Structure 1
């Protein structure tokens, strides 16, 4: 569709697995699923007047969840994919502002709905450059998935073989999984093509900062957005990367830290005692592993603990100056638990 600035635009979105994780699905069904259809997006929406060099402001006016959601541990994916190698399925019921599940009894996750993927269309030059740099990363042994027509919509045309994957975010936006981009927030995206061509999807009912098992409380949702075009601002200020803001942040102090919490720390020291100084990735890993240990002490299974970390535990960089041991903290809200 094509819209004017200031119009409310209502977008019906599908869940991140395109409806494959419906109620009744179990771990036994995972093998038959199509991984190529991850991240179905609703769009593109053309915004009248938007042109290359502009900055597009996207205000998230409302995000209404569907009643069913899910979280999964999917073998081969996630931050601790070398540790968690078996599938695990969690179905959530969303009602009265909370998500609850028979698979993780005693836990009630408060809702803070947001869209995991939001972005504008890249230019042909950006497509070429990003494909080149990700191929170069892969050639150095890094993880970057090349273009693949599998699961692409539409199947025909150049997009299926030359389009970029939706898994990583880039300069045009994409799969941020930033939970603070909830109702009332504003996302700023540099425009690269006429009309900007905005798309969104991958709605989450709740998520911990980090989304460590690779899924949050995943759902379909109805998202209402409103656009404003800041003429020439991306070019004038040389803004290449997305930004976001929220004016009423002060009413949500739990984003800084929950009112009641317990936290674990991680530092860059391996289990064999080797100190990998200033390694934030290892510090993150250790913070989560320590939190999983804490949750197991409280009676949760290792799989349950990993999912709880993904949907409700916030990873925060506590310091990057106290060499060699940078600190990452994992915050667990105590109000999560009922009974």
Structure 2
């Protein structure tokens, strides 16, 4: 089953008023076409204004039959196929440094192959494929720029092939959307972009009735990653760590003080992104001490 990136399948906020364009059953395998983060607008030698209302498009929503608030949905990412080229850019005010670009944007076209990509020289840089935005519909309108409990613009490098993202269903049908794929991106996304690229993302979606989770969780073969977003990094990091500690208490039977110690001895606090309005932090636990 395939969902195209045509305009009728594209939107710019998570909200219960955004009607689903496709309804599926649990266990469906789906290929979703996504647009690059600038929606084709930011290119080298750009000399026209950017329509910021059309940035960060997502494809969807996809409704999960039977999903209700209080359930969870999981999205297993099987593979990501890229267009032949992506784009990266820098502009004043974007990212965590203020760099003079001698113009509104400094943008580069980056050809992508299965072997990687090149920048200023012939040195090949390996791909790091990931999906920047996956989110569920929300009772209130939230722009696709923002991350949160619903998922959204988390820009976590672990939302990648071979891994599974879990999200809470916040409205009937869950209404899942996808966008902002990167051929490569470093943790933090410090300049504001990765290699932004049109893509096809193949996923398997499952419904988990009665599984109540507070926010995004990523399960990989080696670890479980708890994500949280907030206006300040330390606040986000505390929330992500708190979710990891709570999971150790509930699933492993530790006391809270034991779980806190285990997290400190075995886990990792990480930055996902620092540039999307609210920042996103992660706390990961290795499979030796925790399995989802």
Partner of 2:187: 209
Q: Is the 8 A contact 1:68 1:92 kept in 2?
A: yes
Decide which of 143, 148, 161 is 1:170's aligned counterpart.
Answer: 148
Give the CA deviation at 1:241.
Answer: 1.5
1:159-238 paired onto structure 2 within 5 Å: 163-234=141-212
1:93 maps to 111
Q: What per-residue deviation string (whole Å, max 9, x for no partner) do you get for residues 265-320 of structure 1?
A: xxxxxxxxxxxxxx979xxxxxxxxxxxxxxxxxxxxxxxxxxxxxxxxx967xxx
| 1: CA distance, partners of 2:194 / 2:65 | 34
Consecutive unaligned residues in structure 1, runs of 5 or more: 128-162, 250-278, 282-314, 318-339
Equivalent of residue 73 in structure 1, options 84, 90, 93: 90
CA-CA distance at 1:97 after TM superposition:
2.8
Relative to 1, partners in 2 of residues 1:45 and 1:88: Cα closer, same or farther, differing over 3 Å? Answer: same
Query: 2:241: which partner in 1?
Result: none
CA distance in 1, matches of 2:84, 2:160: 18
With over 3 angstroms needed to count, the CA separation of the structure-2 counterparts of 1:229 and 1:15, relative to structure 1, is same
Cα separation, partners in 2 of 1:231 and 1:111, compared to 1, 3 Å? same
Q: Check the 8 A contact 1:117/1:201 in 2, yes or no.
A: yes
* 1:243 correspondence with 2:217: yes
The aligned counterpart of 1:119 is 135
**Is the Cα contact below 8 Å between 2:57 and 2:144 reproduced in 1?**
no
The correspondence of residues 1-339 of structure 1 with structure 2, limited to 5 A, is 1-22=22-43, 25-26=44-45, 28-29=46-47, 31-80=48-97, 82-84=98-100, 86=102, 87-101=105-119, 104-123=120-139, 127=140, 163-234=141-212, 239-247=213-221
Structure 1 CA distance, aligned partners of 2:99 and 2:111? 28
Deviations 1:233-255 (A, max 9, x none): 11xxxx22211111156xxxxxx
TM-score (norm 2): 0.66
Distance 2:81 2:87 in 1: 16
Tell me the distance in 1 between the aligned counterparts of 2:234 and 2:153: 21
2:92 touches 2:99 (CA, 8 Å); kept in 1? no
Distance change in 2, residues 1:280/1:197 (3 Å): closer
Q: How many Å separate the matches in 1 of 2:34 and 2:61?
A: 12
Equivalents in 2 of 1:210, 1:216: separation in Å?
10
- Which of the pair has more CA radius of gyration? 1
CA-CA distance at 1:84 after TM superposition: 4.2
Distance in 2 separating the partners of 1:117 and 1:242: 12
Q: Superposition RMSD on alpha carbons, in Å?
A: 2.2
Secondary structure of residue in 2 paired with 1:209: coil
Query: Could you tell me how far apart the structure 2 residues matched to 1:54 and 1:74 are?
Result: 41
The structure with the largest helix share of the pair is 1
How many matched pairs?
206
1:222 aligned counterpart, secondary structure: strand
8 A contact 2:79–2:201 mirrored in 1: yes
Larger strand proportion of the pair: 2
